[in-house]
Structure 1
């Protein structure tokens, strides 16, 4: 692996090239100047999903969810906690399948919540069902 990575800004969705040693919180977006590593899940839409999943060299963990889904809402704090735990190793993101069904459709999401790990545009793994933070962290670590 190179000593630089392409990271997509969680705020303005611009692709940035940064040194790996800056992932600890030093890196800021060259466009909007906001921190590139926040530990908070990024809310994705049609355009930002393609950018984050396709351009980021940091693994992207996507939670496919919907607002009406009770287990999805119950898992949200655990997903955020796992994202904060792994913030320098993966970007966590959420895609509302109700609001963006055309973005979720190619992935044949059959039940929600479903989490999938992507790296450089390729899906590496997926798991369905609500999980506690520790299990999310263990699962993501086993994939990346």
Structure 2
């Protein structure tokens, strides 16, 4: 048994099935020469492993974000603001993401809208957050309300 080994999903499912039939992870570990810890870890991943390609070796989760529908709505929001000639700030995307998350029933523990999350979102969608769209940019309602409260 090597220290660093990669196993296909098909092999992992065989280990899980063997452990379920024989009642313990240690027996599966001895039969397939894997550690008991790997067997229990794969057992926790079983639903996800069953839905993936059997020749895949690593299961690292989705590559396009956990909440792709939310990201698509945010993308449309940013594009809409850009078409209106408004500048887009991280703060605006943050508030809109929180608003959409509450509408969809996504809890704050599942979705942490941080600056890093917004940066990764903009990279996934090929956006730049603070791009100039015209020479005289119009201040949108969100910024103007904030600006009025600070100046008056």
TM-score, normalisation: structure 2: 0.24
Of structures 1 and 2, the larger Rg is shown by 2
- Give the number of the structure with larger relative contact order, counting CA–CA contacts within 8 Å between residues 6 or more apart: 1
> Greater helix share, 1 or 2?
2
With normalisation by structure 1, the TM-score equals 0.25
